[in-house]
Amino acid sequence: MSDHSTAKRRIVVLISGSGSNLQSFIDGCADGSVNGDVVAVISNKAGVKGLERAAAAAIPNITLDHNSFASRTEFDAALADVIDSFSPDLIVLAGFMRILTPQFVNRFLGRLINIHPSLLPKYPGLHTHQRAIDAGDSEAGATVHFVTAELDGGPAIVQARVELLKNDSAETLASRVLNYEHQIYPLAAEWFCQGRLELRDGHVILDNELLPESGVCVEIAERAE
């Protein structure tokens, strides 16, 4: 098919767990707020809830257990081949917990995005909510970014800021941040699917404008889920 603006984009989602962000893509594609189709879901962990969500939506779902590969390089090569077999326009990391090799990242550069539960560049890596609480921060949040070889170091597309409350635990904060994740991640994907968003020379361009370092900062409210 020609690259015509109304053609639905093919989206492959990589998960390792619950897949609530995956669900926001399934729902957004179904209700038309994302001009795409989730064409496959791939998990590096067997038996996770995200695989059930995919099956319930009749989306091909595949488990590729990293433990059955001798090295990260071999796992990533197999993963890349499975992804390519679905000819995706966009690859979405949604709670995907394996660090990807530079070879993998470079194969998909510019069409590989992640959501990270912190206000990057603060707290790359794991345990972001506890780290924000321990630091006494007054706000937390989530960042959608293009994936580059540098872990959680790729340029930001959009951020949502969330007030960090005095009584927050890592769990209460995580659940509030997740609510915002479910809003900003499909939004960023829709910009991509509309052809409005691209990675150019390591910078993010939206509607032909260079975004600031922290991406677009959206003002949104918590939504009933």
152 binds, among ligand NHR, ligand GAR, none (CB under 5 to 8 A by kind): ligand NHR
- Which residues of this chain interact with ligand NHR, rule CB under 6 A? 93, 96-100, 105, 114, 116, 125-126, 147, 149, 151-152, 154
Nearer to ligand NHR, 51 or 93 (CB): 93
CA distance 122 to 125: 10
Q: Scanning residues 68 to 87, which ones bind ligand GAR (CB under 6 A)?
A: none
- In 3D, which of 105, 219, 203, 224 has the Cα closest to residue 157? 203
Report the residue number, 7 or 65, with the smaller CB distance to ligand NHR.
65
Would you call 129 a catalytic residue per the annotation? no
- Smallest distance, ligand NHR to C-beta of residue 11, A: 17
Least spacing, CB of residue 15 vs ligand GAR, in Å: 6
Q: Does position 21 bind ligand GAR by CB under 6 A?
A: yes
Of 120 and 216, nearer to ligand NHR (C-beta) is 120
Q: Which one of 26-34, 39-47, 70-78, 115-123 is the stretch in contact with ligand GAR (CB under 6 A)?
A: 115-123
Whole-number minimum distance, CB 76 to ligand GAR, in Å?
16
Q: Is 20 in the site for ligand GAR (CB under 6 A)?
A: yes
Q: What tokens appear for 90 in the block? A: 């966009």
Q: Which residues are catalytic?
A: 116
Query: Which positions touch ligand GAR (CB under 6 A)?
Result: 15, 17-21, 50, 94-95, 97, 115-117, 178, 181
